[in-house]
Amino acid sequence: MFKKTLLTLALASTATLAMAAEKADYIINNATVLTMNNEKTVYENGTVIVRDDKIIAVGDADLSAQYKAETVLDVDGDIVMPGLINTHTHASMTVFRSLGDDVPDRLHRYIFPLEAKLVARDMVRIGAQLGNVEMIKGGVTTYADMYYFEDEVAKTVDEIGMRAVLGQTVIQFPVADAKNAQAGIQYALNFIEEYKDHPRITPAFAPHGPYTNSTETLQQISKLSLEHDVPVLIHLAESDREIEVIAERSGGLSPVAYMADIGALNHKVVAAHAIEVSDEDIALLKKHDVGIAHNMSANIKSAKGVAPALKMFNEGLRIGLGTDGPMSGNTLSTIDEFNQVAKVHKLVNNDRAAMPPINVIEMATIGAARALHMEDSVGSLEVGKQADIIVIDVKAPNMVPVYNPYSALVYSAYAANVRHSMVAGQLLMKDREMLTVDEDAIRNELLEYTETVRKTVLESGEEIR
C-alpha cells in the first residue's frame, strides 16, 4: 500500500511538472553556449530556449526541464553561438567572382565597365540568391549590402528568411537603375518606403563613396537618413584616389574629416574599410558614433593596406567584420576572415598577443551588431533578443580537440563546420541542408548566367583571368 502511494505521488508530481513546463518552439541543449553578452558568459553544458522569433531563456542543462517544445535539438557538445553578422558586402557580385582578380586599378578599369554592361534586375537577383545561400551555409545570419536594384536583393532575403541592412547605391554617374545621383536618391526613397516596416529587412541609403558623389548629394542623403531613420552605408577612407579627390575638393582634408566638415558624419553612417585613417580621424569616427566595417581579406588582396582595426577596437569604436563583395574578398564567409584578422593584426603590430580570438569573435557578433546599431536585437544570445543562432560542429577533424572554443573558431574552423543556422526562430539550414530555398536550382541558374558574363568579357577584349 505504501509503495503504491509513493508511485501515485511520483506520477502526480511528474504530471504536475509536465503541465507546469512552459511551451517553446525549440530547445537547443547539450551545447557549448557562447552567449557573447557583456560578461562573455559560456555555458559548457548549456541550453537555449526559443519561442516565436525570440530567445526566451539561456542557461545550464537543467533549464531544459522547465520547457517543452515540439523540436529539441540535442547538438552533442557542439558550439552554439549568435549568428555571424557581415557588416559589408555586395552579394549580387557572386556572378563576377574570380574575374580580373589581379588587374591594377580594378574598380575603375574593370568592375565599373563590366557592371555598366551587365547589371540588371535578373543579374542582381541571381547573384544575391547564391550569395545568401553561401552566407547561411557559412553561419552569416545578418548582412549589410550595397548594390543596385536593391529591392531585388530584398526579395531574395525575404524568401530565404535572412536578416539584412540593404543599401540602395547612389553614385554621380549613370548606372543601370539611375541616370544620376538624384535618380538614385529617389530610387532609395521608394525602396525605403516599401520596406520600412519589414521585420528582418532594414532599407538604407548607400552613397558609393565621398569621391563618387558631390558634397551636396552627401549632405542631402545625411539629412534624409535622419528624417527617415535609416542607415547610410558608404565606402570611406579606402583608396589613394579617394584621398586625392577629397583633398583637392576640400583644401586638404582627409575623407573622414571632410565628411565631418560637411555635416555628413553621424550615428547613421556605417563606414566600410576605413583604411587610411589617422588618430584624428579615429577620434572623429568615435565622436560621431560611426559604425566601422573591417574587411581584412579584401583590403590586403587589393594591397590597399591594413586598417587600424586593433586601435579602433581597443578605443571602443563600433567595429565589426565584413567580407566585402565576392569579387573583392572572393568569399562571403565571415569565418574565413577570422584567421586573417587575428594573424595580420599580430604581424603589423609586432605583437603575438594582439587581437586575441575572443575579440575576433566579438567583432563577428555583438561588435558587428554595434557597427550596424542593431545590438539591442541581435549579436548575442540573451533573453528578449532575436533567435539568430548557429551551431558549429566540433567533431570535424579540423576542430578536434577543443580546449578553448574561441581559439578553435578563429584558428581552426571552416565555414563548412556550420551545422545549423536559424534566423528569427526559423531554421534555415539543418545538418548542412538548406530548408527554405532550392540550393541546386539557385546554383544552376547562376551557372547558366555565367555564359552571358563570359561572352560579355570576351567581347570587351578582356581576358578571362
Give the end-to-end CA distance of the chain in Å, rounded to a whole number: 86
Q: Are 454 and 460 in contact (CB under 8 A)?
A: no
Given a cut of 70, the residues of the chain with pLDDT beneath it are: 1-19, 460-465
Cα–Cα distance measured from residue 128 to residue 92, given in angstroms and rounded to the nearest whole number: 4
Handedness of CA 324, 329, 332, 334 (dihedral sign): negative
3-state SS, residue 289 = coil
Beta bridge partners of 68: 23
Cell numbers given for 7: 508511485
pLDDT of residue 14: 47
Handedness of CA 372, 375, 378, 380 (dihedral sign): positive
Sheet strands (E) in 326-441? 389-392, 418-423, 426-430, 433-434
pLDDT of residue 110: 81
Q: Are 73 and 29 in contact (CB under 8 A)?
A: yes
pLDDT of residue 430: 98
pLDDT tens-digit series, residues 83-126: 999 999 999 999 999 887 777 777 777 888 888 889 999 999 99
pTM score, whole prediction = 0.94
Give the DSSP H or E segment for 70.
strand 67-74
All domains of the chain, ordered by start, with CATH? 13-77 (2.30.40.10), 83-377 (3.20.20.140)
Q: Which of 410, 369, 367 is nearest to 392 (CA)?
A: 410
Q: Are 80 and 28 in contact (CB under 8 A)?
A: yes
Q: Are strands 140-147 and 318-321 parallel, antiparallel or unpaired?
A: unpaired
pLDDT of residue 463: 57
